[in-house]
Amino acid sequence: MPNTVYVLNGPNLNLLGTREPEKYGRATLADVEKLVVARAKEFGWAVVFRQSNHEGEIVEWIQEAAAKKAVGIVLNPAGYTTTSVAILDAIFAVKLPTIEVHITNIHARESFRHDSYISKGARGVICGVGVAGYALAIEGLAALTGARRKGKT
């Protein structure tokens, strides 16, 4: 699936918009999907949008993205950010441009959220701008891959 971006979401992000809105906002994950699908479409890209509460499933999806020759990956690793060598290894292995996204500014939160394993393999990191960060990550992938906006027909 060339011209496809994988947007992967880690544990508990299925709760987005339903709990802790003061931290994570009121947009649901379905709203985020709509946002990224619309932005990716501007570049002629389709989106595979998924969420998992399981580390290994995220690893498998990163490998799948490479097997399908995806353009790149947008990843909010959520609670696996500071623990998952396995997800980092998958990012290194597949060599697809990967943008790490966090809805909140992880550096302004508890210190245990600061040190991301994923950032060591990501080409770019966006945090603290809410769910808009996902759309910015699509822009980032376009910048990194030299993709241009398609003219409206």
- DSSP character at residue 127: E
User: How near is the Cβ of 134 to ligand CA2 at its closest, in Å?
Assistant: 10
What tokens appear for 142 in the block? 């376009």
User: How near is the Cβ of 100 to ligand CA2 at its closest, in Å?
Assistant: 9
User: Catalytic annotation on 54?
Assistant: no
Task: List binders of ligand CA2 among 63-82 (CB under 6 A).
Answer: 76, 78-79, 81
Single out the segment in contact with ligand CA2 by CB under 6 A; choices: 12-20, 49-57, 84-92, 136-144.
Answer: 12-20
* Cβ(123)–Cβ(96) below 8 Å: no
Number of C-beta neighbours around residue 98 at 10 A: 28
Task: List binders of ligand CA2 among 106-125 (CB under 6 A).
Answer: 106, 113
Closest CA to 48 of 17, 88, 9: 9
Amino acid, single-letter form, for residue 76? N
Contacts for 29-38: CB closer than 8 Å, 24+ residues apart: 31/131, 32/131, 32/134, 33/7, 35/131, 35/132, 35/134, 35/135, 36/5, 36/7, 36/74, 36/134, 36/135, 36/137, 36/138
Catalytic-labelled residue, pool 24, 80, 117, 134: 24
User: Catalytic annotation on 102?
Assistant: yes
8, 87, 103, 137: residue in contact with ligand CA2 (rule CB under 6 A):
103
Site string for ligand CA2, 18-47 (x = CB under 6 A): -xx---x-----------------------
Binding site for ligand CA2 (CB under 6 A): 12-13, 15-16, 19-20, 24, 76, 78-79, 81, 102-104, 106, 113
Active-site positions?
24, 102
